[in-house]
C-alpha cells in the first residue's frame, strides 16, 4: 500500500488547516502558491506545523476526519507534543 500523510498547517492569520496527501512537500508547495485549497489560498504563507505518516490513503483520510473534529486546543496540543518530541530527539533526551 502507498504511504500517505495527514498534516496541520499554520496559516498566516493564525488559523490551522488539516489535510491529507501522499506527497507532503508537493502539497505544501501547492498550498503556498495558492493551488492547495480554497481555504489556504487567502491565508498564505502557510507553514507545516504537524504531520503523521499513515499506511494508506484510507487511514490518512480517516485520521484527517478525526483531527478535523478536535478542538483548536487539542490540535495545538498535537503540534506541541510533536515539537517536544523533536527537541528531545535532537538533544538525545528522549524517554
Contact criterion met (CB below 8 Å) for 44 and 31: yes
pLDDT in tens, 8-54: 999 999 999 999 999 999 999 999 999 999 999 999 999 999 999 99
- Give the torsion through C-alpha atoms of 12, 14, 16, 22, to 10 deg: 30
Domain boundaries, the chain: 4-91
Residue carrying C-alpha cell 507545516? 48
| 57 vs 87, more confident | 57
3-class secondary-structure state, position 95: coil
Whole-number mean pLDDT of the chain?
Answer: 95
The reply to whether CATH 3.40.50 applies to domain 4-91 is: no
Residues with Cβ within 8 Å of 78's Cβ and at least 6 positions away in sequence, in order, are 8, 50, 67, 70
Percent of the chain beyond pLDDT 70?
A: 97
Amino acid at each position: 500500500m502507498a504511504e500517505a500523510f495527514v498534516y496541520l498547517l499554520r496559516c498566516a492569520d493564525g488559523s490551522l488547516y488539516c489535510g491529507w496527501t501522499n506527497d507532503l512537500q508537493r502539497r505544501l508547495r501547492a498550498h503556498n502558491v495558492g493551488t492547495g485549497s480554497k481555504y489556504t489560498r487567502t491565508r498564505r504563507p502557510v507553514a507545516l506545523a504537524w504531520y503523521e505518516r499513515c499506511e494508506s490513503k484510507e487511514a490518512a483520510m480517516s485520521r484527517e476526519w478525526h483531527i478535523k473534529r478536535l478542538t483548536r486546543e487539542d490540535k495545538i496540543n498535537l503540534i506541541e507534543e510533536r515539537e517536544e518530541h523533536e527537541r528531545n530527539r535532537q538533544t538525545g533526551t528522549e524517554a
